[in-house]
Amino acid sequence: MSPKVDLPPKAGFLEPKPKILVELGCYMGVSALAWGAILKELNEGKTDGGGVKVYSCELKEGFAKIARDFLDLAGLSSIVEVVVGESTKSLHFLHSSGKVPKGALDVLFLDHWKEFYLPDFREVEDLGLLREGSVILADNCDIPGAPDYLEYVRKGGRGGEGGFRLETGTVKVEMEGDKVAIPGMEGYPTDVEVTRVVGVPNAK
């Protein structure tokens, strides 16, 4: 399992036990597999009819098919659903279809193109999917980096303007033997930005 995906449950970031997780950036399903296994374990295997679900969003159908094949082999296809399409459209689909109602999103995992971290996160806010205590994990915030997203969450989001209030911190993960170099860049991505919703709009 990837150390970055294994980090949140070990560090206690995922309390109370999450039931609904949305991942933006499925690729071939490695992290989707890991998240499916984690949510299954955290919920003590009580996934049938229990509302435990991972929605992994992928732009390209070819990668989505590979991911689905892996999920079938792992016996996790009942927990993890791969959604194909542009991230913003996928978020709207998840909401409008009732798969992720308002205030139901426990964990958001950002692992796609870094320039979309902020606009997609703000779309999640605008759709009202978050609740107090929701956790947002943004991967590879050091390399290649997501400076506009980091600036936004580190100033607390739009809490002062009547939006969701955020608290955030950076966790450096030791990648050990599975480091993956990024062409044209020095070093390896290690930073995961861990953000928690500490206040919701119009909360009494």
Domain ranges of the chain: 18-199
Q: What was the pLDDT predicted at 144? A: 72
* Other beta carbons less than 10 A from residue 120's beta carbon: 24
CA atoms within 13 A of residue 124's CA, in its CB half-sphere: 30
Q: Are 52 and 107 in contact (CB under 8 A)?
A: no
Total residue count of the chain as it appears in this document: 204
Q: What was the pLDDT predicted at 44? A: 80
User: What are the backbone dihedrals phi and psi of residue 95, each rounded to the nearest 5 degrees, phi first?
Assistant: -75, -50
pLDDT tens track, the chain, 204 positions = 454 465 555 545 677 789 999 999 999 999 999 999 999 988 886 666 568 999 999 999 999 999 999 999 999 999 999 999 999 999 999 999 999 999 999 999 999 999 999 999 999 999 999 999 999 999 888 777 899 999 999 999 987 777 999 999 988 876 555 454 433 434 455 788 999 999 999 755
Top CATH class, 18-199: alpha beta
- The CA distance from 156 to 134, in Å, is 14
Q: Are 19 and 43 in contact (CB under 8 A)?
A: yes
Q: What was the pLDDT predicted at 176? A: 53
β-sheet with 191-199: strand ranges across: 80-84, 53-58, 20-24, 105-110, 130-139, 191-199, 165-172
Q: What was the pLDDT predicted at 180? A: 46
Q: What was the pLDDT predicted at 12? A: 59
User: What is the pTM (predicted TM-score) of this model?
Assistant: 0.86
State how far the alpha carbon of 32 is from the alpha carbons of 38, 131, 148, in Å. 10, 22, 26
Q: Estimate to the nearest angstrom the gap between the alpha carbon of 204 and the chain centroid.
A: 27
* Other beta carbons less than 10 A from residue 192's beta carbon: 26
DSSP state of 176: G
